[in-house]
Amino acid sequence: MTKLAPVLSAHWDEKDSFTIAAYTRHGGYKASAKALAMDPDAVIQLVKDSGLRGRGGAGFPTGMKWGFIPQGDEKDHYLVVNADESEPGTCKDTPLLMANPHVLIEGCIIACHAIRAKHAFIYIRGEVTHVVRRLNQAIEDAYKAGHLGKGVDVVLHVGAGAYICGEETALLDSLEGFRGQPRLRPPFPAIAGLYARPTVVNNVESIASVPAIIANGAEWYQGMGTEKSKGTTLYSLSGHVTNPGQFESPLGITLREILELSGGVRVGHKLKFWTPGGSSTPLFTDAHLDTPLDYEGVAAAGSMLGTKALQIFDETTCVVRAVLRWTEFYKHESCGKCTPCREGTWWLVQILRDLENGVGTEADLAKLLDLCDNIMGRSFCALGDGATSPITSSIKYFRDEYIAHLTNGGCPFDPIKSTLFSGANA
């Protein structure tokens, strides 16, 4: 049985956890002092040795990403933190920043030192007013305490409601003051990122993991997790469960373990399908309860670890309705730059609506898969790829349920039964 291991979340239960006083009380800003006394290359090597991988979805080794920044090139370098948390089901960075914004700021100081950057930008989504307040205050307090302003400046940049800006190159365009649309790569941000300068773009949780690694060493971090997925991470459990919430454990815990320690699927119901890492990762079923939730384990089972957003749906949920709603989301958030995604997501919605309403035909299923085939790998960025995941995986596991909509002449489910207030004041 994997045990929980709070590192990022260790002090969240203290009422003032978000203040600089609480953060320094627990050793805050000692790791950045330690790192600033080290050679920048030694910091990069330490993060490489720790095995830390990107927590924003792709799982790219963080130290290696930092190592890609050209040195001695006389150009300005930038660190950009992706706090545009918007992937459906994903809800880890937002509570982290609400409870402890200083750990991100300290991580920025360390990362900037390592990549020889003087400027860090934190790009946060705009729909979280109180988290913006907390971060802004934390930055102000870090300047007052002298942690910022002596070599590193941090600027908070607030988005304005566009999921696509979570894609790193769209985020950079947005930060430069344009519509948030992805860029063609190469060149990669490490060579030509913000203002065409070498730039590292990292997720909040990745950068927030760095202070503890510097403080406790690479070996300590290496000692947690699985062979290729090291350290601890935040798993976010939501949906039809007895107790939803955040669970920080070493990588490799299983859904069965998380459900057992948190109280399981809601009483009287059973697991039907779930996402391991947000709506862009192919669906799993009860056959995947024992899949190790690390980068390799989830990939081997045909999905992606993504953001570790475990959205749980029980047998009352219509999978066609769920997938249609996600698809409507992708259609709405498609930036319009490339044809497969812009046109494809519209067609996907139309066909899925027909199927959900029972007016489609079985041939529509083949058409859906054909459309997905023409979007996947042919779009400018991962939004298009992600849009196909719920569709192809749901047809794989629940083809009969799609057919049942056709034979039934509409959706056979009662949507009230899947609400939390079924039979109450609905």
Partner 1 sequence: MAYTPDQLQVMDSIIKRYPRSRSAIMPLLHYVQSLSGYVTNEGIELVAKLLTLETAEVSAVATFYTQYKRKPVGEYHVGVCTNTLCAVMGGDAIFAALKEHLGVENDGVTADGKVSLEHIECNAACDYAPVVMANWEFYDNQDVSSAKELVDSMRKGTPKAPTRGPNSLGTWKEASAVLAGINDGKANEGLQAGEPTLLGLKLSKEGK
Interacting positions 268-327 with partner 1 (CB under 8 A): 279, 309, 311, 313, 317, 321-322, 325-326
- Closer to partner 1 by Cβ: residue 233 or 291: 233
- Closer to partner 1 by Cβ: residue 209 or 311: 311
The window from 153-161, 292-300, 348-356, 398-406 that contacts partner 1 (CB under 8 A) reads 153-161
Q: DSSP H helical segments within 305-421, as ranges?
A: 319-333, 339-356, 363-375, 382-408
Interacting residue with partner 1 among 69, 120, 152, 175 (CB under 8 A): 175
Could you tell me the smallest distance in angstroms from the CB atom of residue 133 to partner 1? 4
Interacting residue with partner 1 among 239, 292, 297, 340 (CB under 8 A): 239
- Closer to partner 1 by Cβ: residue 179 or 185: 179
Could you tell me the smallest distance in angstroms from the CB atom of residue 217 to partner 1? 22
Could you tell me the smallest distance in angstroms from the CB atom of residue 34 to partner 1? 26
Could you tell me the smallest distance in angstroms from the CB atom of residue 363 to partner 1? 26
Q: Which residues contact 196 (CB under 8 A, 6 or more apart)?
A: none
**Encoded tokens for 272:** 């039907």
The window from 182-190, 214-222, 241-249, 289-297 that contacts partner 1 (CB under 8 A) reads 241-249
CB 164 within 8 A of CB 383: yes
Query: CA of 397: how far to CAs of 264, 318, 319, 401, 421, in Å?
Result: 22, 13, 10, 9, 28
Could you tell me the smallest distance in angstroms from the CB atom of residue 60 to partner 1? 22
The radius of gyration of the chain's CA atoms, rounded to the nearest angstrom, is 22
Query: CA of 201: how far to CAs of 54, 114, 162, in Å?
Result: 10, 14, 18
Could you tell me the smallest distance in angstroms from the CB atom of residue 318 to partner 1? 8
What residues numbered 195-214 form the site for partner 1, per CB under 8 A? 195
State how far the Cα of 165 lies from the Cα of 171, in Å rounded to an integer. Answer: 4
Interacting residue with partner 1 among 65, 119, 183, 288 (CB under 8 A): 119
The window from 177-185, 295-303, 349-357, 364-372 that contacts partner 1 (CB under 8 A) reads 177-185
Interacting residue with partner 1 among 39, 41, 130, 300 (CB under 8 A): 130
Pick from 83, 107, 86, 11: which is nearest to 309 by CA?
Answer: 86
Could you tell me the smallest distance in angstroms from the CB atom of residue 247 to partner 1? 4
Q: How many residues bind partner 1 (CB under 8 A)?
A: 94
Could you tell me the smallest distance in angstroms from the CB atom of residue 311 to partner 1? 5
Interacting residue with partner 1 among 4, 64, 145, 382 (CB under 8 A): 4
Interacting residue with partner 1 among 156, 200, 305, 391 (CB under 8 A): 156
What residues numbered 15-44 form the site for partner 1, per CB under 8 A? 15-19
What residues numbered 57-116 form the site for partner 1, per CB under 8 A? 76, 85-91, 93-95, 98-99
Q: Which long-range contacts (CB under 8 A, 24 or more apart) does 106-109 make?
A: 106/23, 106/28, 106/29, 106/31, 106/32, 106/147, 106/210, 106/211, 107/207, 107/208, 107/209, 107/210, 107/211, 108/79, 108/81, 108/152, 108/154, 108/207, 109/32, 109/35, 109/36, 109/147, 109/148, 109/152
Query: Going residue by residue from 343 to 382, which x/- string records binding to partner 1, judged by CB under 8 A?
Result: ----------------------------------------
Residue type, 41: D
Interacting residue with partner 1 among 53, 102, 113, 134 (CB under 8 A): 134
Q: Answer yes or no whether residue 158 interacts with partner 1 by CB under 8 A.
A: yes
Interacting residue with partner 1 among 107, 244, 292, 297 (CB under 8 A): 244
Give the count of beta carbons closer than 10 Å to the beta carbon of residue 176: 11
Q: Which long-range contacts (CB under 8 A, 24 or more apart) does 132-140 make?
A: 132/156, 132/158, 134/18, 134/97, 134/98, 134/101, 135/83, 135/97, 135/101, 135/104, 137/101, 138/18, 138/20, 138/101, 138/102, 138/105, 139/101, 139/105
Q: DSSP H helical segments within 246-359, as ranges?
A: 255-262, 295-300, 319-333, 339-356
Q: Which residues contact 176 (CB under 8 A, 6 or more apart)?
A: 194, 195
- Closer to partner 1 by Cβ: residue 127 or 286: 127
Q: Answer yes or no whether residue 329 interacts with partner 1 by CB under 8 A.
A: yes
Interacting residue with partner 1 among 39, 41, 140, 290 (CB under 8 A): 140
